[in-house]
Structures are given as C-alpha cells and as structure tokens.
C-alpha cells in the first residue's frame, strides 16, 4: 500500500471529522481509526494482509544479463503516453536514445518526464499505463547499444 495514499486518507478523515475508515484493495485491508484526546488527534494505522493461497511453485523471472533496467526515481502514477488515447512514448522493439522521454510519472500533482538513461532497444515494458509505482521499481528493460 502506498504511504502517500494512507497519508491522504488520514487527511480526509481529519478534515471530515471521521473516526474510522476501512478500505479493502485486492488482498489488502486498511483500517484507519483516530484516537481523540483533549489536545491531539492522531490516526492509528493498521494494515491486515489476508492470506491468499500460494501456488506450490512460484514462477521464476529470468532477466538477461545484458539488459539495463530503467527504474523510477520517484513514487507516483506512471503514464506511458502524453495523454489518454495518444500513442505511447515507446513500444517493445523501439530504438531509443539516452535522454529521450519514455514515460511520465505523476507525483503530488506534478508531471515528471522520465528520460531514458541509456540508448538501446526496448525489450520489455514492466508497468501498465496509469499504474502506481514505487521508488526504484523497474519500468523498462532495455538492450543497450
């Protein structure tokens, strides 16, 4: 669960005078409760992960040694195109140059262009459009020139 989202929910609770908020997203459940005292109102955060059946064998992801992993430098929402319905910045098989914009990450209402850190061919796009990404998460795998 994204910590910025939790902070935003706690803010919404405080602004609206709510004492409890429950949110279920996928297999995670988040419960926010505010403990009120005479001078302090502090949210209490408790996240409960539901146990999901796990397969006996997890598939192993093998990444070739010659692929460069372009990672996100910040937390936010990744956009693979400049606007909804527009062509994506890059597709698998595209040749890119270092410094070329390959996606946008929206963080705190700011749109940050993410530039390619190397030149090469896009081998894999590891995220989907409008997906929330964490700091250091792999966005693309690039076969360097």
Angle at 66 between CA 65 and CA 67, to 5 degrees: 95
CA dist., res. 9 & res. 82, Å (int): 28
Mean pLDDT of the chain: 81
pLDDT single digits (tens) 108-129: 999 999 999 999 999 999 999 9
Count other C-beta atoms under 10 Å from residue 32's C-beta.
Answer: 20
pTM of the model: 0.56
pLDDT single digits (tens) 4-52: 777 777 777 777 777 777 777 777 777 777 765 444 445 555 544 444 4
**Selection from 75, 136, 81, 137 nearest residue 106 by Cα:** 75
The larger pLDDT score, comparing residue 97 to residue 59, is at 97
């Amino acid at each position: 669960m994204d910590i910025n989202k939790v902070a935003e929910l706690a803010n919404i609770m405080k602004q609206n005078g709510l004492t409890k908020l429950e949110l279920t997203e996928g297999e995670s459940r988040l419960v926010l409760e505010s403990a009120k005292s005479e001078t302090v109102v502090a949210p209490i955060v408790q996240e409960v992960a539901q146990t999901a059946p796990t397969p006996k064998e997890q598939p192993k992801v093998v990444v070739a040694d010659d692929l460069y992993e372009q990672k996100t430098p910040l937390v936010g929402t990744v956009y693979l195109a400049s606007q909804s319905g527009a062509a994506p910045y890059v597709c698998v098989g595209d040749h890119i140059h270092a410094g070329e914009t390959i996606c946008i990450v929206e963080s705190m209402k700011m749109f940050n262009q993410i530039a390619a850190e190397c030149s090469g061919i896009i081998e894999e796009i590891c995220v989907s459009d409008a997906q929330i990404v964490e700091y250091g998460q792999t966005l693309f795998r690039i076969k360097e020139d």
